[in-house]
């Protein structure tokens, strides 16, 4: 998927909840930590507001992320990684995440460390196929 505005969007054929479940399962099976799931639409509903199903998964690996943050400390604003799972007005679900190349350019990450971030996209694509 080509990046737009530093974001990569991947279509999911599953519901938001099922996509989140599949992503969490995939991340954990590959040794990544799921730090949190933020349910934006659920929180909106609690105060009487409506929005399409929207959740953010915060995930990563200190083993992979720490060397990158040591090399480019400002990257800590973008780590841990995040995956936005949202349903659009047509009922289609997608997963959106930061393009590793965008993060490399934004923070001046050494090219050889970009690989520490790039694997997430492969896992996301696998989880929603």
Q: For residues 83 and 124, give the distance between their C-alpha atoms in angstroms, rounded to a whole number.
A: 8
Selection from 35, 9, 34 nearest residue 24 by Cα: 34
Phi-psi region of 81 (alpha: psi -120 to 50; beta: other; left: phi over 0): beta
Say if residue 104's pLDDT is above 70: yes
Q: State residue 3's pLDDT score.
A: 66
pLDDT at 92: 97
How many Å apart are CA 58 and CA 125, to the nearest integer? Answer: 16
Helix (H) or strand (E) holding 39: strand 33-39
Residue pLDDT, tens place only, 47-103: 999 999 999 999 999 999 999 999 999 999 999 999 999 999 999 999 999 999 999
H or E element at residue 68: helix 62-71
Which H/E stretch holds residue 87?
strand 81-87
Cα 69 to chain centroid distance, Å, stands at 17
pLDDT higher than 60, residue 15: yes
Q: Decide: 86 and 54 in contact? Cβ < 8 Å.
A: yes
CB 75 within 8 A of CB 103: yes
């Amino acid at each position: 998927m080509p990046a737009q505005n530093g974001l990569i969007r991947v279509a999911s054929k599953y519901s938001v909840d099922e996509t989140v479940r599949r992503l969490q399962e995939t991340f954990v099976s590959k040794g990544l930590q799921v730090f949190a799931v933020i349910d934006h639409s659920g929180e909106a509903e609690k105060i009487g507001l409506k929005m399409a199903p929207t959740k953010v998964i915060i995930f990563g690996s200190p083993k992979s992320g720490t060397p990158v943050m040591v090399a480019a400390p400002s990257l800590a604003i973008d780590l841990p990684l995040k995956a936005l799972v949202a349903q659009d007005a047509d009922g289609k679900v997608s997963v959106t995440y930061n393009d590793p190349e965008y993060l490399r350019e934004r923070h001046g990450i050494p090219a050889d460390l970009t690989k520490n971030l790039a694997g997430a996209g492969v896992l996301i694509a696998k989880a929603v196929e």
